[in-house]
Amino acid sequence: MNSLFKRAGVIVLALVTFSVVILFSNSFLKGARIDLTEHQLFTLTQGSRNIVAGIEEPIHLYLYFSESTTRDLTQLRTYADRVAALLEEYVSLSQGKLILNRIDPEPFSAAEDDADRYGLQSIPVNGAGDTLYFGLVGSNALDDVEVIAFFQPDKEVFLEYDISQLIYRLSQPSKPRIGLLAGLSVRDRVNPQTFSSEPGWRSIAELEQNFEVVEIAADAETIDENLTMLLLIHPKAISSALQGQIRQFLARGGAILAFVDPLSEMDVTQSSPMMPTLPGGQNSDLNWLTEPWGISIRPGQILGDAQLALSVTGSGGAPVRHLGIIGLGPDQLNSDEVVTSQLESINVSTVGIIDIEEPKVEVTRLLTSSVFAAGMDAGQFQFLQDPESLQKTFKPGDVALPIAVSLQGPLPLSDILGDPSASSEARRISLTLVSDTDVLSDRLWVQVQNFFGQSIATAWADNGSFLINAVDFQAGSADLISIRSRGQYTRPFEVVQTLRRDAEARYLESADQLQLELAETEQRLSELESQKVADGLLTLSADQEAALLEFQDRKLTIRKQLREVRHQLDQDIEDLGATLKLLNIAVLPLLITLLLGLMVGLRRLRGARPS
């Protein structure tokens, strides 16, 4: 009996010890954090730490999350706790420069009005009209406001980047300055011959809303050191002096976004019916810089794609698929990269092919073709009359070809500067190369209409968003660029998935056999049914009639067995998942607590024995 009481006392002591530890940690260890997750999900990267350390004036963060309307949305509430915990990590490192407020925008409240005013996205959750908010609003001392409209759980890998980007924008006193070097008329201008105003490209106009754009002439000899990044659009006549300045800019840590083209259709000044030019008159590349690194634009080649070709009006007025005008969908956009993760479609025209051979730097493909693509001679497109004629000589390949790539990572200064005698010290570069300039022109992604004197733009593709995302990513900072996609907080039960595959293999084997028997039975039924009536007379014997009824019953029995197999499979998978979840969530923590309590109790009992 004493032994039983001692054991009961040990269990009670263990529970009391566990409760005391919890109370102590909540009171005195609230700020202490230990991140034991595989990808260090609750630990900020060095890039985010640098951004937080650079905050000079206080920044207020307001996390809007609808508590009442998400009461039954367990998965979303779990993710909301994940977001809140990550924000707390930012706050703990900011030395009081970040102030976090969590707000519940209840229906018809002032908080809900504020959420709408800031542009947070409201999501309907039921037929009664209830909506939920799950977004972040940040403001600085200058009353600048940045917003994450909604935290999408399926974009969790970009969670740290999105938050760090918001904080970085609010910590900067002025807009980033972008140097624009363009071989095309992409901005609003006055025609020197007609003295009339000509609108620029909508993509550039939207860029100017978020950044300060400074033009650089093709014959310039210097580049302003205060520029955050360079945007090159069709850079086909750059002086050697300016090439050297571009190399120096890259070596200083400046970012470059380059749109080049084997045949720029918007470069109309280089070709006319009266004075035709060779295809080389409308091309541009950056091979003088990137080719020694193992990346180059294939000269004189345009990418044709038999699968993604868009339809245009042919010579006879009928729609014809144009192999050189391509519509890229989600499968061709890299969903793992910040620049393209949230885009759905991008249209390109007479785009080039990027060759990658033993690169000296990390190369990430942003845009690719389908596997049914191949290079075509640029001369076929120069004076093309009938797009259908392109299909006569086209031979599709069997591999996806890169259209846009991101080059990130360290390179020796000698490679960046193109000077073998320069230092071999490594510098990190950031360069995005896109093999098309027409992608930025209005005709491929937006319709602009005049409405009572105002230009109204309606986008039907994501070309403009691609430019904004790419500039935003490149111009942010080296710290922001270093924050790549992270692991996911919500992880599958891998053991359950393995058991699911094993269970499916077992049951599908039974199902396959039943399906075979069902097919044979249906075939015999069909044969008997075909013999049943001939010229309106019954032709089956009594034995055949009995066999017919037997096969019909057999068919019903097999179909019932198939339903039972499917039901048993689902039931087994649910049981396996429930068992593992019970072990992970309840049993194992309880066993660990009891074990610790038992160890503490035994040690105290030993210490209490008389010597």
Is the model more confident about 194 or about 304? Answer: 304
Asked if residue 314 has pLDDT above 80, the reply is: no
Q: If you average pLDDT over residues 127-152, what whole number do you get? A: 89
Are 136 and 80 contacting, i.e. CB atoms less than 8 angstroms apart?
Answer: no
pLDDT in the model for residue 471: 92
Instruction: Give the domains, in start order, of the chain with CATH numbers.
Output: 38-170 (3.40.30.10), 177-298+350-369+400-482 (3.40.50), 494-608 (1.10.287)
Residue 203 pLDDT > 90: yes
If you average pLDDT over each of 182-191, 516-525, 592-601, which comes out highest?
Answer: 182-191
Q: Which residue has the tokens 């105290």?
A: 604
Residue 262 confidence (pLDDT): 95
d(CA 502, CA 540): 47
Interatomic CA distance for residues 370 and 398, integer angstroms: 9
Note the pLDDT of residue 272.
46
C-alpha angle with apex 528: 526 to 533, nearest 5 degrees? 105
Q: What pLDDT is attached to residue 24? A: 59
pLDDT value at position 270?
Answer: 43
Per-residue confidence at 490, pLDDT binned at 50, 70, 90?
Answer: very low
Q: At what angle do helices 159-171 and 74-93 cross, to 10 degrees?
A: 40
Considering only CA atoms, which of 397, 306, 310, 404 is closest in space to residue 353? 404
Give the CA distances from residue 9 to residues 2, 23, 388, 550, 599, in Å, rounded to whole numbers and listed in that order.
10, 21, 88, 70, 13
Contact in structure between 453 and 300 (CB atoms under 8 Å): no
- pLDDT tens digits along 248-293: 999 999 999 999 999 999 987 544 445 555 445 789 999 999 999 9
Is the model's pLDDT at 317 over the cut of 90? no
The Cα 2–Cα 9 span in angstroms is 10
pLDDT band at 155 (very low <50, low <70, confident <90, very high): confident
What is the per-residue pLDDT for 555? 67
Q: Taking a C-beta distance cutoff of 8 angstroms, is the pair 277, 239 a contact?
A: no
pLDDT, tens digit, 9 for 90 and up, residues 350-398: 999 999 999 999 999 999 999 999 999 998 888 888 888 888 889 999 9
| Nearby residues of 25 by Cβ (< 8 Å), 6 or more positions away | 32
Instruction: Indicate if the pLDDT at residue 489 is higher than 50.
Output: no
